[in-house]
Structure formats: C-alpha cells, structure tokens
Amino acid sequence: MNVLRNSPPLLFFLFKFLISAAQVPGEFRPCPEPEAVKRLLKNQLNAIQSIRARFRQEKDNPILARPQTSAGVFCFSRPDKIRWEYQKPYAWLFILQNQELYRSENGQEVATSPQQKRWFTSMAGSVIRMIQSGMLENPDYEHSFFCDPGGRILVRLKPRNSRIARYIREIHLYFPPGGGALERMDMLENPEGVTRLFFEDQSINPTVSEDCFSKP
C-alpha cells in the first residue's frame, strides 16, 4: 500500500516538511537582533499548552488547473494530543492521543496499518514541533529571522540537507507582531509548487475538552 497516496493532503505536506531560493516578501527586512527574536519566539511558543483554531490550506502548482483549497478545524493539547478535521471539500478526521491513532473518511473509520500508524505518529510529532519551539532548533535547516514595519516576524528555513533540498526550497513561518502562535506557513517546493497553511480564529491556552480527542 502506498501510505502517502492514501494520506490527507495536509499530512502529505507535513511529510515533505520532514524530508525537506525563494525571496522573502519585500516588506520584511533582516531583524537587527535575530538571537533576541529567536529567544522571544522560543519563550512564547514554549508557553503554549493548548490551541483551538481553524485552518485553511492552499496548494498551487503549475501542473494544477487552479489552486486547491481545503479547510477545517484543529485542536492541540500538550504533550501529544492532536486533532485535524477537514470539513471541506471533504470530511476527513485525524486524531492522535497517547500514541493511539484514529482516522476516518466521510464519517467512516479507516483501518490503519502498523506502517501507516508509525508514519502518522511521526507527522503528529512534526505538528507539535511547528506549534512549539522545536522548529527553531532543527539542525537540518538554516534559520534566518526577518521583521516588517508592523512588527510581524518571519522565520525562513533553508535546507542544509541535500536530500531535503531536492523537495523543498524554503519554508516561511509567519508570526504576529511581538511574536506568539504560528499564524501561517508557506512551503516553497521544488521545482515551482507552493503550499500555504493559515491558522485562523486561534484560541491560545483554552480549556480543551477531552471530547475533542475522542472517537466520534
């Protein structure tokens, strides 16, 4: 079975993030004190205990007739509880809790092989590292920090690993003025594809019910 072919698009995107020179948007300039910005982000991200948000994913590629868009809701609770729920254009659900995986399509549970479970568990770890500060310490990437006049922060990740660079040109992580939770991630793929992930209506450190991580 081809695990990737049968995986939700966001998870395929996260896989390519793991195995991964475009320009930074013009309004951003190198931060004058990058190490101070890095410390700020690490401190704020490490303070995140839970998140509830909506997400929107856009994928653009020259081979596509038009950009593909999907959307849904997302829940996270430390240390390792994650729920990704696609609501349109399809109904897919992905829940990981205590290393136990639940996956459904259109309301029907989908059997998961041991190989798929290992893969999805690895993907969940990637999500956690993006939400928390682990993404700022990944040795496979060169980290650069940029700021715009409004105080927004952009972290550019450029692959050091040649195997990753075959698939990924750069990853751009966007944070709100003064830092805080990740708002947007752009993955610039080789040769010309772009995948954008937006987190919207975020609630940081809310009380997240256990129902969010329970099987339907």
Place of tokens 């920090």: 145
Res 22: pLDDT: 47
Q: What is this structure's pTM?
A: 0.79
Output the pLDDT for position 106: 93
Helices 114-131 and 9-18 meet at what angle, rounded to 10?
A: 70
Q: Degrees (nearest 5) of the Cα angle 114, 168, 179? A: 95
Which residue ranges of the chain lie beneath pLDDT 50? 1-5, 13-22
Among the four given CATH numbers 3.20.20.220, 3.40.190.10, 2.130.10.10, 2.50.20.10, the one describing domain 9-213: 2.50.20.10
| pLDDT attached to residue 10 | 55
What are 165's two structure tokens?
């660079």
Looking at residue 114, what is its pLDDT? 84
User: Which residues are paired to 84 by β-bridges?
Assistant: 74, 94
